[in-house]
């Protein structure tokens, strides 16, 4: 995969603002690179360590389109004990959004049930079969979350049965392309709460489905407080904090940008989660063995999230929702163990699927296409999105992975910067049975008869250039290893949580001389390196002495094999072997060869057996 390293060069009075905010000027530079321009904006960004700072950045729920309608409808249904059915989705966002609505409506005294579509038999979102089932159960009101914006048939049927319909969603509004003009279409619901609507005045549109559900609950709660008829219907702070925790979990797992109110919610959720009042979540955290250290975004996105997702992939996501709703700790622990076991099975199946997909791409030369389309009939359809993501990461190209399903050929896609996958795929929607998504990801089922034509068109019609297909690595500063201090690292921690839109600060160092290396980890995928930085013009031939140069501890996770191959390709197998052998003597250079590199890195503190040291985590390298 090609990449281009790009140094961000936005200007500001870094030293002056740093002095005003009592923070390292490099951290000011990072905040400027994230789009913050003034000292006041940066002060607000840093103020999320306080309750007031979080409150100040949260937007009024009533600014969401149709929120007033949704609140009035639900308030009446709650008071009249009408049967409300929440219809969610089978991923973390859909499950937590369902939890937020079901739990809060029950606490408000509503008659409420829920339904989550089965990935294999129902597909994504509410459908006509689910509407029929709701009608047979005497449901008065359908309330969707994380889906519904494209549910035209289902909403038409529900309205025909006389049901009230409220859609809460965050996905793109479907449209017809009329010769370059877009005609947006909304389903025939009584209220459609979606920040992506064209008439939305909501200040920040990049929120997840669980955040939309959370906003609805807050607005409904405020309405009931103002109504003053029944205080038993009102949620207290502990209740709303628990709901916020779920919204923060979904925000990370649904890969929303961690800016604006998303960052505020995630920051607070991480603090709350260490002592969560949710019995099911507490059990899952303990079962996964991540209860000893403070919660962070990695644990949310790569440990807890996949366990919740696994039920929707291999069984039914209602198992995850039941876990979150469970109040008995012993029962919650049993359910949590089941989720972890399902996720372990899913991981093994995923690795097999990735190997098959990579072999298919290599054997068929699909890496030469601007859009990679993989068809693996035997792949479990729930794994298509994960596999697509891994292929996209390796080749940095928009990728769609398809497999067989009962009603057609079903697939998931993952995109790259500069390729709006929803808009590009929308051009061929006459070939689809189902379709939905957003800029960076999509899900679709293609009619079997049109699949070959679809594959040809999606590749041939792509207008991406070679530059578009070169991954851009954005570097915050060319910062020498020697500048890094514990104070700087702790100042950088104030920018957390890191994630999409608020990436961990990335720096670059040239003239890195690799002096010794050790391979670590069960699979030998981690490489610890001791290195020095050579002054410009330094050479071993001119008598330079390495022993007088400072040594720095570098670590590379997950790509030891790639690094060693790059070294072997440039310097030969003897140099590679010598580097590893030199692990016992950091003052030697192996077989007398300077192995030089340029690296991008994230500095961090490494604590082991009571010892603390600065560690430079390598993210990219040029040998």
pLDDT value for 589: 45
Average pLDDT over residues 590-616: 85
For the chain, the distance separating the N- and C-terminal CA atoms, rounded to the nearest angstrom, is 15
| Window from 24-38, 401-415, 587-601 with minimum mean pLDDT | 587-601
| Window from 23-37, 127-141, 144-158, 525-539 with minimum mean pLDDT | 525-539
> Residues with Cβ < 8 Å from 50, sequence gap 6 or more?
none
Q: Cα(620)–Cα(562) distance, rounded to whole angstroms?
A: 11
Query: The tokens of 324 are what?
Result: 């979150």
| Mutual angle of helices 305-314 and 237-253, in 10-degree steps | 70
Q: Is the pLDDT of residue 590 over 50?
A: no
> Residues with Cβ < 8 Å from 275, sequence gap 6 or more?
none
pLDDT value for 49: 67
pLDDT in tens, 548-577: 789 999 999 989 999 999 999 999 998 898
Burial class (CB in 10 A: 0-12, 13-18, 19+), 429: middle
With beta carbons less than 8 A apart as the criterion, state whether 314 and 295 touch.
no
Query: How far is the CA of 231 from the CAs of 102, 107, 604, in angstroms?
Result: 19, 11, 49
Helix or strand or coil: residue 77? helix
Cβ atoms within 10 Å, residue 420: 15
Cβ atoms within 10 Å, residue 558: 11
In this predicted model, which residue has the larger pLDDT, 270 or 177?
A: 270
Q: What is the DSSP string of 280-314?
A: HHHHHHHHTT--SS---HHHIIIIIHHHHHHHHHH
Q: Is the pLDDT of residue 587 over 90?
A: no
| Window from 52-66, 130-144, 331-345, 404-418 with minimum mean pLDDT | 52-66
Cβ atoms within 10 Å, residue 280: 26
pLDDT value for 199: 95
Q: Is the pLDDT of residue 542 over 80?
A: no
Q: Is the pLDDT of residue 616 over 50?
A: yes
Extended strands (E) in 147-229: 164-168, 175-178, 181-184, 191-193
| Window from 62-71, 132-141, 272-281, 604-613 with minimum mean pLDDT | 604-613
Least Cα distance to 474 among 507, 512, 498 occurs for 507
Query: The tokens of 114 are what?
Result: 């829920």
Q: Cα(206)–Cα(170) distance, rounded to whole angstroms?
A: 8
Average pLDDT over residues 87-99: 97
pLDDT value for 588: 47
pLDDT in tens, 122-143: 888 999 999 999 999 999 999 9
Bridge partners of 618, per DSSP, are 601
Torsion of CA 612, 616, 617, 618, to 10 degrees: -160
Q: What is the DSSP string of 90-150?
A: SSHHHHHHHHHHHHHHHHTT-EEEEE---TTTT-SS--HHHHHHHHHTT--EEEEES--TT
pLDDT value for 34: 94
pLDDT value for 181: 84
Name the average pLDDT for the chain.
92
How much is the pTM?
Answer: 0.88
> Residues with Cβ < 8 Å from 498, sequence gap 6 or more?
258, 297, 504
Write down all domains in the chain, each with its CATH number in brackets. 3-46 (no CATH), 61-265 (3.90.1640.30), 274-346 (no CATH), 364-460 (3.10.310.30), 506-622 (2.40.50)
Average pLDDT over residues 51-76: 90
pLDDT value for 237: 83
Helix or strand or coil: residue 29? helix
In this predicted model, which residue has the larger pLDDT, 180 or 293?
A: 293
pLDDT value for 438: 83
Q: Is the pLDDT of residue 546 over 90?
A: no
Q: Is the pLDDT of residue 406 over 90?
A: no
Please give the share of the chain, as a percent, with pLDDT higher than 90.
79
Cβ atoms within 10 Å, residue 55: 10
pLDDT in tens, 210-260: 999 999 999 999 998 887 665 666 788 888 999 999 999 999 999 999 999
Average pLDDT over residues 371-398: 95
pLDDT value for 186: 96
Cβ atoms within 10 Å, residue 317: 25
Q: How confident is the model at residue 513 (pLDDT cuts 50, 70, 90)?
A: very high
Pair type for strands 175-178 and 441-446 = unpaired
Helix or strand or coil: residue 65? coil
Q: Is the pLDDT of residue 203 over 70?
A: yes
Average pLDDT over residues 453-458: 96
Q: Is the pLDDT of residue 97 over 90?
A: yes
pLDDT value for 544: 59
pLDDT value for 52: 65
Q: Cα(259)–Cα(264) distance, rounded to whole angstroms?
A: 8
With beta carbons less than 8 A apart as the criterion, state whether 179 and 120 touch.
no
Query: How far is the CA of 397 from the CAs of 315, 370, 389, 425, in angstroms?
Result: 31, 6, 10, 15
């Amino acid at each position: 995969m090609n990449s281009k390293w790009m140094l961000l060069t936005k200007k500001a009075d870094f030293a002056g603002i740093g002095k005003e905010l009592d923070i390292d000027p490099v951290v000011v530079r990072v905040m400027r690179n994230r789009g913050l321009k003034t000292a006041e904006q940066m002060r607000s960004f840093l103020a999320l360590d306080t309750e007031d700072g979080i409150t100040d950045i949260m937007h009024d729920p009533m600014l969401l389109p149709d929120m007033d309608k949704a609140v009035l409808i639900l308030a009446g249904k709650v008071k009249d004990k009408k049967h409300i059915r929440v219809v969610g989705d089978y991923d973390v966002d859909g499950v937590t959004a369902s939890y937020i609505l079901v739990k809060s409506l029950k606490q408000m005294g509503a008659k409420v049930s829920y339904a989550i579509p089965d990935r294999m038999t129902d597909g994504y979102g509410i459908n006509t079969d689910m509407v029929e089932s709701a009608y047979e159960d005497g449901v008065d009101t359908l309330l969707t979350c994380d889906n519904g914006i494209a549910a035209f048939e289902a909403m038409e049927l529900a309205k025909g049965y006389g049901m009230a319909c409220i859609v809460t969603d965050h996905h793109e509004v479907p449209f017809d392309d009329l010769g370059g003009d877009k005609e947006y279409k909304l389903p025939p619901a009584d209220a459609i709460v979606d920040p992506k609507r064209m008439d939305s005045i909501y200040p920040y549109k990049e929120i997840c489905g669980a955040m939309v559900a959370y906003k609805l609950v807050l607005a409904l709660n405020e309405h009931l407080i103002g109504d003053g008829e029944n205080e038993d219907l009102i949620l207290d702070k502990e209740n709303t904090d628990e709901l916020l925790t779920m919204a923060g979990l979904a925000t990370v797992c649904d890969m929303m940008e961690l800016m604006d109110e998303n960052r505020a919610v995630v920051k607070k959720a991480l603090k709350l989660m260490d002592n969560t009042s949710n019995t099911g979540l507490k059990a899952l955290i303990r079962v996964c063995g991540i209860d000893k250290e403070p919660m962070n975004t990695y644990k949310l996105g790569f440990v807890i999230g996949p366990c919740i997702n696994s039920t929707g992939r291999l069984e039914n996501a209602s198992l995850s929702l039941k876990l979150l709703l469970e109040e008995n700790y012993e029962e919650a622990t049993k359910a949590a163990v089941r989720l972890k076991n399902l996720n372990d099975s899913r991981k093994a199946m995923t690795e097999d699927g990735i190997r098959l997909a990579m072999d298919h791409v290599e054997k068929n030369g699909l890496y030469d296409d601007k859009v990679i389309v993989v068809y693996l009939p035997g792949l479990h359809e729930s794994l298509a999105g994960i596999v697509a993501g891994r292929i996209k990461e390796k080749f940095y190209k928009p990728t769609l992975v398809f497999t067989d399903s009962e009603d057609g050929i079903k697939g998931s896609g993952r995109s790259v910067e500069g390729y709006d996958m929803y808009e590009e795929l929308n051009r061929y929607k006459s070939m689809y049975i189902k379709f939905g998504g957003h800029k960076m990801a999509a899900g679709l089922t293609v009619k079997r008869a049109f699949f070959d034509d679809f594959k040809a068109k999606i590749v041939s019609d792509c207008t991406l250039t070679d530059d578009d297909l070169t991954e851009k690595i954005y570097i915050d500063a060319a910062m020498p290893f020697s500048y890094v201090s514990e104070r700087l690292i702790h100042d950088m921690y104030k920018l957390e949580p890191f994630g999409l839109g608020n990436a961990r600060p990335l720096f670059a160092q040239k003239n890195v001389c690799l002096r010794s290396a050790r391979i670590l980890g069960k699979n030998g995928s981690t490489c610890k390196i001791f290195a020095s930085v050579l002054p410009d013009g330094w050479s071993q031939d001119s008598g330079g002495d390495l022993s007088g140069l400072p040594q720095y501890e570098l670590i590379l996770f997950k790509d030891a094999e790639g690094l060693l191959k790059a070294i072997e390709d440039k310097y030969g197998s003897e140099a590679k072997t010598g580097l590893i052998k030199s692990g016992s003597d950091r003052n030697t250079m192996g077989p007398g060869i300077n192995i030089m590199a340029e690296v991008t890195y994230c500095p961090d503190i490494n604590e082991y057996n009571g010892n603390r040291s600065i560690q430079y985590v390598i993210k990219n390298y040029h040998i």
